[in-house]
Amino acid sequence: MNKTHHSEYLKLKTLYLKSAENSFYSEKQLSEQWEELQFLSKPSFEKSLKEYDTFQLFLANKNIELSFFPKNEKTWIDSIYCRDASIATDFGMIMCNMGKKGRVHEPKAQLEAYQKNNIDILGDITHPGTLEGGDVAWLDQNTLAVGHTYRTNEEGIRQLKSLLHPKGIEVIVVELPHYKGKEDVFHLMSILSPVDKNLAVVYSPLMPVKFRNELLHRGFQLIEVPDEEFESMGCNVLALAPRDCLMVDGNPITKKLLENAGCQVFSYKGNEISVKGGGGPTCLTRPMQRIIL
């Protein structure tokens, strides 16, 4: 069985999660941190546990091997969005350096888990560089797109290139707009979710012309998320396998567009674990190996 880390759409074999219980800790911790971390409102601890159990069970029932990041007293409630602290490559993990102050301890916490499980480490992004996993997406086996955002700066991108260029990986830089400013959650994967080798969910109004044209040049068909479903994370779609998709409830137009393109679409109730914190299924998961069919 051939496996790779260099894909956003092949059949998922293994991934890491950080449960609501291990991230949110308690009602008290949620009360103390949700405003500072710019959540839309305070999640309910008990409801979060129930939502997460359903989310986790769905993934387990898809025959995906799940590993879990443990509790860590230094990480905050944002650590539930575990994609952001590291990048998976076939050469080892790249540990990020978070652009959001409240998340600075997450990469070290993940590193400890990877080392305990004998997972190779390629390198890390160090100060003054910043880079978050939500700003990177594999376009193909040898091409990684990275967003230049308020969370991922030029020095972080330079360090990423220095790690990957010697391995033959092309890094495409996507210059993203100011949008709602420095405090907002706005990553590359806020506007891009590849769900097959030639199909991607996008929000074009916030996509640079050069990058959109690059996707078209590479043969991607674009599923255009409507304005009314952007804030509800219609563009945040996790591919479990080619055209086998998972998204947050509440985006019926995007769901129908995906189905019209031949996709099977599953959705989950994520009011507490996704909507309030601005993190959909791609954010809640750190995909590792995918199977090359």
Q: Which residue has the tokens 């159990």?
A: 53
Q: Where are the domains of the chain?
A: 2-292
Tokens of 137: 């997406």
Question: How would DSSP label each residue in 80-106?
Answer: G-GGGGEEEETTEEEE-B-SSGGGTTH
pLDDT tens-place string over residues 193-236:
999 999 999 999 999 999 999 999 999 999 999 999 999 999 99
Supply the pTM of this predicted model. 0.96
Distance of alpha carbon 69 from alpha carbon 106, whole angstroms: 10
Tokens of 12: 């998922």
pLDDT tens-place string over residues 105-120:
999 999 999 999 999 9
Nearest to 145 by CA among 198, 187, 117: 187
pLDDT tens-place string over residues 40-71:
999 999 999 999 999 999 999 999 999 999 99
Q: For a pLDDT cut of 70, what percent of the chain falls above it?
A: 100
Structurally, at CATH architecture level, domain 2-292 sits in 5-stranded Propeller (3.75)
Task: Tell me the three state secondary structure of residue 247.
Answer: strand
Strands 121-124 and 92-95: what pairing? parallel
Nearest to 95 by CA among 122, 127, 134: 122
Distance of alpha carbon 180 from alpha carbon 217, whole angstroms: 29
Q: How far is CA 211 from CA 39, 43, 218, in A?
A: 29, 35, 11
